[in-house]
Structure 1
Amino acid sequence: MSQNHIRSALSTIVVIFTFLMALFTLPKEKSFLKEEEKEYAHFQPQPKNISFDGSHYSNSPSHRVLSHTRVIVEENNTKMSTLQVGAIDKFRSFSSNSSEHLSPSLQRSLQLETHPSQLMNSSSIRLSNYSAISASENVNIPVTVPNDLKRLRPMILDDFPSKFLPSYKNPCYIKYTTDKKLHCLPYFFLLGTPKSGTTDIWSKILAHPEIVAAIKEPHWWTRTSYPSAPLEVYEKRYMTNAIVKRTGTDIQKKQLTITGDGSASTFWDNMRWKEIYPEYDQKGPPYIMADVIHTVLPNAKLLVSFRDPTYRLYSDYIFFKPVGVTSPENFHDRVVTEINKFSTCLTNRSLEACAYCCKDQKVRLNIGLYSVYLRDWLKRYPRHQLMALKLEEWHARCTQLLPEIFQFLEVSSLSPIKIADICKKPSQNITSKKKWIGPMLNSTREILRDFYRPFVVRLASILNDDRFLWDYNDRQELQTEG
């Protein structure tokens, strides 16, 4: 063998050796990226056009990944095919022979197991049935937050997650820019009012093995987050830690577990709005906490517990006032004072301004204005994402209602025996007998029923359910309500 051949062979060996060394010394994936998250970490779809129920959105860095909904692919403004988006960020199936009529480039994008970003870059897309997306699913929606809304909670709305992990049922994400750890937000909210059974409902919901929570009422959105608290504090203290503690290192269990926020005040408490929007003193708040929550969690599920507002107010008065101060007569005087104040407020302010304005009340009369608050929540959330409960039925029908709640939350069903065992547990947060001061005066009851009647009728009308009339009115009046 000539020297030239030897030198050539040695050079080849050196090149191969260098290549192998480089191959084995490549940096490994960061440990915090779990297998089910690796692909998602690099997903940056840039759709040309997306429409939800006919409304088009342009490209934006703020996006969430669509999952579990029907997608209609369009090319040259012509609907070409309907596809089904799978649970783990890939198109699992699409209508038979759908690709026959598409251009070659779009056909390539519709290959089974193709990454969604390829499809989204290839053509105009229309996303239909948006309202069916569940809380854990990640929708590619550009989020533009109005400046006035940002004033309500700037630290939340300047730094909320733009996407969630598609393999998690609960809205969770990895914060790659900071700690590179799992962060979770609530999948559902248990809303309502004080003394409406939320504590007992909450305790029985948490008996389900797939539902966890740190504490029932952090009151974070309406109170603790004001004036400027980062979302990260809430995530870690109340949501993420609860999931991690329950599931440990079990990834599959972690993906199926959900958590919630049981702060009843989230439904009605917006009392800081005058400090934030003083120019709206007479009109009422332009934005409320429901706007903030919907911006961050548009697919959250909402449970709302209601109680006859007259008896709710009396129970609230007894529970929150010290022993020795309360009496039926004292309650009557306070009720008359607050009704007069509310009537005066309505002479120069809107109903919303008066309902949301009350800080220093002798009794918390405004909390019973359920229809005002429910209407505002349903302006932000579709009706099918809200389940209304009636306290007076809860205790008597727990074994029927609890499975309905679990079905609404889309967790696994429990056996009738297990449900019965949960419902047998003693009711939580019942007003102490030591605080009981006797029944309400009949005159007070009639005053309150007259005051609350139009709001109760409106509530039943909004819910299209005359069970929420209690006995304030007959069915005929409900039918005449819009």
Structure 2
Amino acid sequence: MAWWIGVKTLIAVRMQRRMGRSTKVLLLFLLSLLCNTVLTIWHLCDHSLTWQQVSSSRINTLQQRNGLGLHQSDKLQLSVIDSEECVIHGQNGTSSSALRTLYSTLHTIIPTPDNFLPQFRNPCWNMSSNLSLSTARLLYKANISDPLVVSLITNSLFQPTKNTLVCMPSVYFIGFPRSGSTQLYTMLLKHPHLQGGYIKEPHWWTKTKFKKKFPYNILSVVQYLLHYLGGSQYLLKHPDTLLIDGSQSTVWDSRTIRNLCALPHLVSSVVPEAKYIVLMRHPVKRLFSDMMYLCEEHKNKTIPSANLTNATEVFLESARLEIIEFQKCLLRDNLPKCTHHVLNGYHGVLQDKCGRVRLGISLYHVHIRKWLQVIPREQFLFLWTDDMAHDPLKVLERVWSFLGVPEQNKDQLNDILHEHIHGIQHQAIDIHNEKFTFINKFFQPHNQQLAELLQDHSFSW
């Protein structure tokens, strides 16, 4: 550092002998800016070099601490993720090699199931850390690329002063959006044995663009754990409590990760005993509600307001165009990949905007099938939105029984039900109107496949 000061001083002295005052000031300013830039680059390079030098030893330390290592089953799942039929080719998203890096990173930080603490119903372990809960609240949604965030998390993780209990969720409320999930999630959290993260939907599994660099993946996983650090501390006094990840994108969204098989394998490899809740709504009603939601999120862009009288006409035209594109895709590719492509707008970019319908989300059987191919059926609870509207208490009892938590006093839930259930009602459309014939006809075989897959004809609609 001192040699830079010497260089700046020497050049400044020579400049003072040869130039006018204004020119001297300008050049001194530019010289100072150049030197500071060089120092910053040097610092970043040095920081990066430090990461490279210590990455292997830190990973080994974590592996020894948690008793980790890739097993034969892990290698088998990695080969499945690499298979040609799983991968969507494109410029955007996560590469297969980055997925392999993520897989290894998950198994570097998170212990194998036989090393989880047995007194908890969630995957919990003690991680050496001096990270305070207040700092965690600031960092769980911070930009991982920020050097300050990198410094705070890495100093906490790799220069430990105490053991901190960290837990992964054991319950994943994975779908589907615009089906009443927020109301059900809110009611579930009224149960003393159920806890969420700082927000309902972190979307960590589906919207994190994983990279191959060592610090990024490590910090990304730690950031997800921070999301549930408050719930983990609650578990110290209430070990029977279950943590819930309410991200509704988990079951269907492969747009960022760009791999149709990856998520079920990744999640089940980390939390093999997890339970999954799937709430579904009539596919056409969900589709319309989804379009209206996107309009609320993007007012004054395509449709000035979500309450326009011609919203139904816009919906029908958008659905017609989407179905045409989808059927064209089926002439050249298979159903899972066309479902992915229709969600991606056929252009390799995310197009969640007002006036378009996300047809692929409502093809429930395509998304659910890939999860049931990896995870046993008994770990899933499939629910219907109409049941939530007609008898919410019965639905709650089903969920409590499925999760193995005690039933609550029904009298205590009356106010909760009255407060939250109204949100399930969305703008009504008459799906039996002849205008909807073409879209109902499109979904009919897909609904039938869903009913056969779940062996429950109530989902055939």
**Normalised-by-shorter TM-score class:** 0.5 to 0.7
SS at match of 2:443: helix
Alignment pair present for 1:243 and 2:232: yes
Q: What is the rounded CA distance, in whole Å, between the counterparts of 2:104 and 2:65 in structure 1?
A: 24
Task: State the structure with bigger RCO (CA 8 A, min sep 6), 1 or 2.
Answer: 2
Matches within 5 A, 1:135-150: 143-144=74-75, 145-146=77-78, 148=82
Partner residue of 1:456 out of 442, 447, 455: 447
Q: Give 1 or 2: higher strand fraction.
A: 1
Q: Give the residue type in structure 2 aligned to 1:242.
A: G
Q: Is the alpha carbon distance of 1:225 and 1:413 closer, same or farther for their aligned partners in structure 2, counting shifts above 3 Å? A: farther
Partner of 1:294: 268
Partner of 1:354: 338
**How many residue pairs are counted as aligned between the two chains?**
319
Q: Give the residue type in structure 2 aligned to 1:170.
A: N
Matches within 5 A, 1:160-239: 160=107, 161=110, 162=112, 163-176=115-128, 178=158, 179=160, 180-213=163-196, 214-227=198-211, 229=217, 230-236=220-226, 238-239=227-228
Partner of 1:395: 389
User: Greater Rg, structure 1 or structure 2?
Assistant: 1
Q: Is the alpha carbon distance of 1:431 and 1:371 closer, same or farther for their aligned partners in structure 2, counting shifts above 3 Å? A: same
SS at match of 2:102: helix
Q: Is contact 1:328-1:437 (8 Å) kept?
A: no
Q: Is contact 2:165-2:232 (8 Å) kept?
A: no
Partner residue of 1:369 out of 363, 372, 380: 363
Q: What is the rounded CA distance, in whole Å, between the counterparts of 1:266 and 1:222 in structure 2?
A: 6
Tell me by how many angstroms 1:394 deviates.
1.0
Q: Is the alpha carbon distance of 1:172 and 1:428 closer, same or farther for their aligned partners in structure 2, counting shifts above 3 Å? A: farther
SS at match of 2:315: helix
Q: Is contact 1:313-1:364 (8 Å) kept?
A: yes
Partner of 1:83: none
Partner of 1:19: none
Q: What is the rounded CA distance, in whole Å, between the counterparts of 2:362 and 2:99 in structure 1?
A: 24
Q: Give the residue type in structure 2 aligned to 1:456.
A: N
SS at match of 2:407: coil
Matches within 5 A, 1:15-94: 61=69
Q: What is the rounded CA distance, in whole Å, between the counterparts of 2:182 and 2:260 in structure 1?
A: 31
Tell me, which stretches of 5 or more residues in structure 1 are unaligned? 1-40, 45-59, 64-140, 275-284, 471-482
- 1:66-113, CA deviations, whole angstroms, 9 ceiling, x for partnerless residues? xxxxxxxxxxxxxxxxxxxxxxxxxxxxxxxxxxxxxxxxxxxxxxxx
Tell me by how many angstroms 1:382 deviates.
0.3
Tell me by how many angstroms 1:210 deviates.
1.2
Partner of 1:324: 305
Tell me by how many angstroms 1:410 deviates.
1.4
Q: Is the alpha carbon distance of 1:157 and 1:199 closer, same or farther for their aligned partners in structure 2, counting shifts above 3 Å? A: farther
Identity of aligned residues (%): 28
Aligned CA RMSD, in angstroms, stands at 2.7
Matches within 5 A, 1:340-351: 340-351=324-335
Partner residue of 1:152 out of 85, 93, 99: 99
Q: Is the alpha carbon distance of 1:389 and 1:438 closer, same or farther for their aligned partners in structure 2, counting shifts above 3 Å? A: closer
Q: What is the rounded CA distance, in whole Å, between the counterparts of 1:394 and 1:409 in structure 2?
A: 17
Q: Is contact 1:199-1:428 (8 Å) kept?
A: no
Q: Is contact 2:277-2:381 (8 Å) kept?
A: yes
Tell me by how many angstroms 1:421 deviates.
4.0
